[in-house]
Amino acid sequence: MGKLSNLKIVLLVLVVVLVLVIVKTVGKDGFKQDAKSAIEAVDSNNFIISANEIENNKTQYLIVDLNESGSSRFENSLKIPFEELLEESSLKQLKETENKILLVASDISITAKAWVILNQLDIKNVFILSNEDNPEVLKYEFQPDTMARLESDLQ
Amino acid sequence: MDARIKITVLLVGLGFLLAFMPNPSSKIFKLKPSELLEKSGSKEIYFSVDEVARFVNNEDSTVQLIDLRGADEFRKCNIPGSVNIPFDDLLNPNWSVYFSQKNMRTVFYGNGDQNANIVWTIATGLGAENCYVMEGGLNEWFKTVMLTKFEGERITPRENALFENRYKARDIFTQINSLPDSLKTKFFDAKRLQRAKVGWWVLGRNERMRDWEIVQIENSKIVNWYFDK
């Protein structure tokens, strides 16, 4: 008992450090994932579902329509306007679903931003719908001007 | 109690704490989710391709363009003045200097809208300020800046300014991207000198020709550029 009381000050220091660590890491209601996970998921291209793929597998997905207004492209989709994405009721539905989550919107820039936010909140199985198989393909080819020479302009 | 025991207990305890602490090299978003969502919803994070064309034409030094495509695609063509940070290399610490410049506007672009918006969200979440996206990416740049023509009969002053801006950016884009890689670098070096001082400047030794590249600058213009033994 006497030995333990001698260790009091040491244990006190450890408890203070532990509390500080807990407050810094767990205390805030924030993001917990490493941004690297988002980069890796995009890189492996396993977060995009094309319009063709979804046609036959609609039942596998909880389709979340992020558009602010207008009727949804999919029947039985869950309407969560982008700015309400983090409301408690919205997050509850997304966390509790057993289906994969498919984000749809009129513009891929909305779904892309929503996907990163949900990914970093550690909500699993989130995908985005793309009308193209790969929206990051350059559709044009640059035609160089074979006559372009700096020297000819200058000398 | 022996001081050695106290110190040992303290160190072992701290060791356990360190073992369970998050990895300091991990990149966790600094912004709160609600803050990031609010910023994400703003239309002000976008620049149109016409606005970016104006930055290129004016050589706006408060804007840095970040091309998120792979190195091969970047070499084929890019918006003049861009820096290539491939998407999969985004979190490389070597690039951190581009995300910490508070007086610069950082404009991301890819071929489409997807990657630039993802990178915008990641960069902003990690605490970078003044980040923007070029709306529509290079596909929109080609469609609007490189390929549109005025087809009406009478042109308004506003349309005239718009098309003049596009044609000028188109010329710069074509000219710079048609140059061999070695000359592209030299061109930008010369431009920097052009802004700096008037006179004769040796740009460096051309590796292929083993000659010195020299430029003469007068009235803020390159008036001579040649190779010399």
Q: Write the DSSP assignment of B20-38 as a string of letters.
A: HSPPTTS-B--S-HHHHHH
Residues of A in contact with B189 (CB under 8 A): none
Phi, psi (5° rounding) for residue A100?
Answer: -70, 150
- Helix, strand, coil shares, percent, chain B, to 5: 50, 20, 30
Query: Which residues, 6 or more positions from B87, have their beta carbon under 8 angstroms from its beta carbon?
Result: A39, A42, A43, B68, B69, B70, B110, B115, B118, B119
CB-CB under 8 Å, B17 with A18: yes
User: Which residue type sits at B152?
Assistant: G
Nearest CB neighbour to A14, from listed B13, B222, B223: B13
Residue the block writes with tokens 């046609």? A55
The pair of structure tokens assigned to B41 is 């919803």
Distance from CA of B20 to the nearest CA of A (A): 9
Strand partners, B131: B106
Chain A residue whose CA is closest to B222: A154
Interface probe with A: pick from B5, B10, B16, B29, most Cβ of A within 10 Å? B29
Nearest to B53 by CA among B147, B144, B152: B144
> What is the pLDDT at residue B54?
96
pLDDT of residue B103: 85
How much is the pLDDT for B114? 96
pLDDT for the residue numbered B35: 96
- Count the Cβ atoms, other than its own, within 10 Å of residue B210: 9
At B48 the pLDDT is 97
Q: Which amino acid is at A82?
A: F
ipTM field: 0.82
- pLDDT given at position A151: 47
Q: What pLDDT, on a 0 to 100 scale, did the predictor assign at position B225?
A: 64
Q: How confident is the model at residue A132 (pLDDT cuts 50, 70, 90)?
A: confident
Helices (H), B91-152: 96-99, 114-125, 137-141
Residues A51 and A129 sit within 8 Å (Cβ to Cβ): yes
pLDDT in tens, A118-127: 999 999 899 9
Please give the torsion angle defined by the CA atoms of residues B37, B42, B45 and B50, in that order, rounded to the nearest 10 degrees.
150
Q: Is B58 helix (H, G, I), strand (E, B) or coil?
A: helix
Structure tokens at B169: 């950016």
Asked whether the predicted pLDDT for residue A150 surpasses 70, the reply is: no
CA–CA distances in Å: residue B204 to residues A99, A149, B194: 61, 18, 15
- B181 is written with which tokens? 């890689």
* pLDDT tens per residue, range B121-144: 999 999 999 999 999 999 999 999
Distance separating alpha carbons of residues B223 and A25, to the nearest angstrom: 60
Identify the closest residue of chain A to B109 by CA–CA distance.
A136
* pLDDT recorded at residue B201: 55
Give which of A134, A80, A133, A135 is closest to A103, Cα–Cα: A80
Considering only the beta carbons, identify the residue of A10, A13, A31 that sits closest to B33. Answer: A31
Q: Is B126 on the interface with A (CB under 8 A)?
A: yes
Query: Parallel, antiparallel, or unpaired for β A48-50 and A126-130?
Result: parallel
Residues of A with Cβ-Cβ distance to B91 under 8 angstroms: 35-36, 39
Ranges in chain B, pLDDT < 70: 1, 17, 20-25, 188-189, 191-229
Taking the model in full, what pTM does it have? Answer: 0.79
> Which of A9, A33, A108 lies closest to B114 in CB terms?
A108
pLDDT at A88: 93
Domains of chain B: 33-145 (3.40.250.10), 180-229 (no CATH)
B37, B42, B49: best to mutate for the A interface, most A CBs within 10 A: B37
